[in-house]
Amino acid sequence: MTTDDPYPHLADKAKGQVNLSDSERIRIIRSGSFVKLERSIDVLNQMQEFVDHPKVARMPGMLLVGPAFSGKTTILKELCALYPPDYQPESEITNYPVLMIEAPPRPDVTDFYCRILDKFAAVYKPNASSPALRSQVERLIRTLGVKVLVIDEIQHVIAGSDAKVRLFSNTLKSMMNELQICIVLSGTMEAYAAIMHDDQMASRFAPRELKAINHKDKQMVVLVKTMELRMPLKLPSNLGDIEMLRKIDQLAEGSIGHICELVQALAVEAIKSKKEQITLKALADLKFMPLSKRTRQARPKSL
């Protein structure tokens, strides 16, 4: 630590935050930020190409798959942040290049249309017929200039009967054809198996998989080091050290989401305890249950 730069372990923005109140620093840590990992940027770049894709007879699509907490939704939200709704005062119309919704809990096309209309904050009759809702959705998508429709948690819609799943799939294919927009689906490997089982869906949605990472993976090193640079703790934690990486990996079990959750919890505790750094002892003392143990944990009798 030098007198010229008392916080060499922090990025410039974090240096400007390090003397804020404890509560403000905790809020910053819990808010998190997008970390540009190689695999995330690769997927993001491809989706950005969709935004600029010319309208052709057969529009491309993507199926982004991976285990829970693998970073899929974070990447999708970053795409939306890059292409926010843009109000045009001359025409009094908002351009909406990227529209993101969560899939309905079942393959219900009416619910699907309602979710899109809700995202647009459109006025509609919830009891309207499916064709009427579809017409309104298509009109808005054309008017607002949607280029890419993102549907997260797509595995939800494969839980119904074959007939309903087939109807939902046909709806997506029809939207791509008639509206000439790109569609990005995101979900678990369960979704991959279902969609790849349908030849027509498989031909339209190129799969991209986000795999688990571990302490030997360069991307995990980049992730934890970047988090340390951005978290306004007054002392260095050296999260890139091999023992730190191994312990974080052991607890997070390769899940990017759990790595972030774990490191954020440790940073918050470092502020609350006034220690201002994450240590191996703090890692050992943290009450953090890995995902594998959560799923095996017996349900308490009181619940």
At 290 the pLDDT is 65
At 1 the pLDDT is 46
Largest Cα–Cα distance in the chain? 70
At 303 the pLDDT is 38
At 291 the pLDDT is 64
Summary count for the chain: helices (H), strands (E): 14, 7
Q: Say which CATH class 38-209 falls into.
A: alpha beta
For 70-101, give the DSSP string: SSHHHHHHHHHHHS--EEETTTTEEE-SEEEE
At 15 the pLDDT is 96
143: its two tokens: 């008017």
At 2 the pLDDT is 47
At 267 the pLDDT is 97
Dump strand ranges (E) for the chain: 61-65, 86-88, 93-95, 98-102, 148-152, 182-187, 205-209
Question: What is the C-alpha to C-alpha distance for residues 139 and 297, in angstroms, rounded to an integer?
Answer: 48
Question: What is the C-alpha to C-alpha distance for residues 94 and 88, in angstroms, rounded to an integer?
Answer: 6
**193-237 confidence digits (pLDDT tens):** 878 877 888 889 999 999 888 888 899 999 999 999 999 999 999
At 302 the pLDDT is 45
208: its two tokens: 């991209």
At 294 the pLDDT is 64
Positions in the chain whose pLDDT score sits under 50: 1-2, 298-303
Cα–Cα distance list, 81 to 28, 86, 144 (Å) = 18, 12, 17
At 107 the pLDDT is 87
